[in-house]
Chain A
Amino acid sequence: MANLGPAHYSPYPVAFYDDLLTPPEGKALLLTEIVDEEVAMREIARVMLTSENATIFPGPQVLYAWNEEAKKKATLIKEMSEVLNAKMIPMYDYRPKYPKIDAEVEINPNHPNLTIWHNEIKACIFVGVHCHYANVALKMIRSETDCYTAAICGLSGHEDAMATIRDQHTKEMARFIEIAKEVKKELGK
């Protein structure tokens, strides 16, 4: 059943095993529930603010200045990390890292669990990672770690994350930051 891991020996696809798919437009997915986007945003903020070593994993789409939106998103993600008291560890490319990844300074979709284990990360946000690599990583993380995963996606979202919001562009990310500020105030963090 789709839930917080470590869940299974093998990477766990909730679409295949549990019929959980990406949320419809305007909605979000929280574990097994389709919810309003704001509900998911509040829950992501709450989990990030109350979990040990919460970390944002920004991907290539927001790490490099491909276009104006990427630059704006990068600025917003920096603000997001400050509001959520979260570290940032980049996924700056998708190449498998051999002989060994430096888990302290980067995460890689081919062995994301190493970074999560090494840094004892209990909650994370994927943002700006191409969907395929995010999904490959999220299935492994659910399988092998107890890290709560959230995905802020500019396209259709990620059912393999425990929380996912979709169609997230600069306006929506700014809204998430405002909601996170409210949650932070409510929690007294």
Chain B
Amino acid sequence: MSIKNMTKEKNWSGQKLVSTDYLLFEAPREKHFMTGSEVLKEAIKRCTVDASVSYPITPQSEAAHLIGELWAEGYVGLYFRGENEFGVMSEVQGCAMAGARTVTTTSGPGTLRAMENFPTWSGTRIPCQLILMARGINSPLTIQPDNLEVSFLLETGCMIWYAENVQELFDMSIAAFTVAEKPDVHVPIITAVDGFFVSHTREAVMLPADDIALEPYDPYAAPLPPIDSEMPPGRFLRDPFVMKSNYISYATHASWQWEVRSAVERSKPYARHYLNGLVHTTGEENAELVFVACGTAVHQAKEGQRELAKLGIKSKVVKLRTIRPFPHAELLEATKNAKYIFVPEFNVVGWLDKEVRTSLYGKSDAKIVGRPRVAGGMSMPAEAILKEVFENTNLKGA
């Protein structure tokens, strides 16, 4: 296997090259029963991935290990292990700056150890993908669903998408490469799922055949030239302009940061197409009671919505598929009739609650309740959601 085996029709592993639209929307699919980690392997298998770097800590999801198997099977061009998570994310950056379609996976502790790299990724405009199987932050150690680490990633300049289940994980992680690699976007993307619930448990998933794959990444259709140590960002390492103390260099740094944020905003039209909308709603369209959530909290909110319907109470669930860019317009439209907005979350800090409040401030009269919040591996039963509804609204069941 070699990149030299690539033709216009087939990639190095012999898979037929197809468009993202065909892969996501048109190719026939068959039903499978897989864990999130296994599904991620199937997605990466169909993405003509040039390079993957990992640091397989314990306990962890199997995802990085399974991508390693793809290398052994000839589907991923390069695979190696970093010395630690900081090393991994630095090496991901190196691969991507050299023009490789690059992917890695991690979770809470590794995310924080590698933290400095994420804003550096976005500052260098690399379109790599991090699959974040969120599991919380030490200590105490957990591999259960807790997405506290996402709050640390919100302002790194990376796009953040959030999948509810294994099907969305499959489709999102394919679309993620395509959107991240658009020349006017071209920033890293973090595709998040709730660990354990999605990474470790099996669900039905519809997959296209594995003899087709995405067109390769074209590093020349990029907003920066491929790596060149004589110019920024390569030259950052030798001659960072922020260290030059004059107003012009400060303005450059400010403009650079705004450009990264602008690039994330430019992803919206593409994400609307490939994700079929930045938000997805379930339930009664005109309901005054609205749940806004992401990840598996959406699934639990839907359970709550069904239980409330049995009591004659109309409600709606608004699933946010993208967190960065934040879908301000879509959220405002989806909550325009709301009197009560509940934000159920799998973390103790309520980072999504803060996002929702900030987005709707001055635009909505709804009472916003950031509950229930569960963490550290606790489940979120529908009863807990209903209890919050009855305690914080004047809604009464039939």
Tell me whether A95 and B232 are in contact (CB under 8 A): yes
Of the listed stretches A43-51, A75-83, A128-136, A169-177, name the one at the interface; the rest are far from the partner chain: A128-136
- Which chain A residues have a beta carbon within 8 Å of chain B's beta carbons? 10-16, 19, 21-22, 24, 60, 93-96, 98, 109-111, 113-114, 130-133, 135-137, 139-140, 143-144, 155-157, 159-160
Q: Which of A16, A111, A130 meets B258, CB within 8 Å? A: A16
How many Å from the CB of B387 to the closest CB on chain A?
A: 39
Q: B241 contacts the other chain (Cβ, under 8 Å)?
A: yes
Kindly name the residue among B184, B235, B263 whose own CB sees the greatest number of chain A CB atoms within 10 A. Answer: B184
A98 contact set on B, CB distance < 8 A: 244
Q: Which secondary structure dominates chain A's binding surface?
A: loop
Tell me whether B248 and A135 are in contact (CB under 8 A): no
B183 contact set on A, CB distance < 8 A: 131, 155-156
Complex CA–CA separation, A64 to B326 (angstroms): 40
- Which chain B residues have a beta carbon within 8 Å of chain A's beta carbons? 125, 182-184, 186, 221-225, 230-232, 235, 239, 241, 244, 248-249, 251-252, 254-256, 258-259, 261-263, 265-266, 268-269
Tell me whether B241 and A96 are in contact (CB under 8 A): yes
Which 10 residue pairs spanning A and B have beta carbons closest together?
Answer: A11-B255, A131-B223, A156-B184, A132-B223, A15-B262, A13-B258, A155-B183, A111-B248, A110-B252, A15-B265
Q: How many A-B residue pairs have CB under 8 A?
A: 107
Known: A95-B235, A110-B252, A140-B251. A11 touches B223 (CB 8 A): no
**A13-B262, A15-B265 known; 18 other A-B pairs, CB under 8 Å?**
A10-B251, A10-B258, A15-B262, A16-B258, A19-B265, A21-B265, A24-B269, A93-B230, A94-B231, A110-B241, A110-B248, A110-B252, A111-B248, A111-B252, A132-B224, A136-B259, A137-B255, A156-B266
Tell me whether B231 and A156 are in contact (CB under 8 A): no
A10 contact set on B, CB distance < 8 A: 251, 254, 258
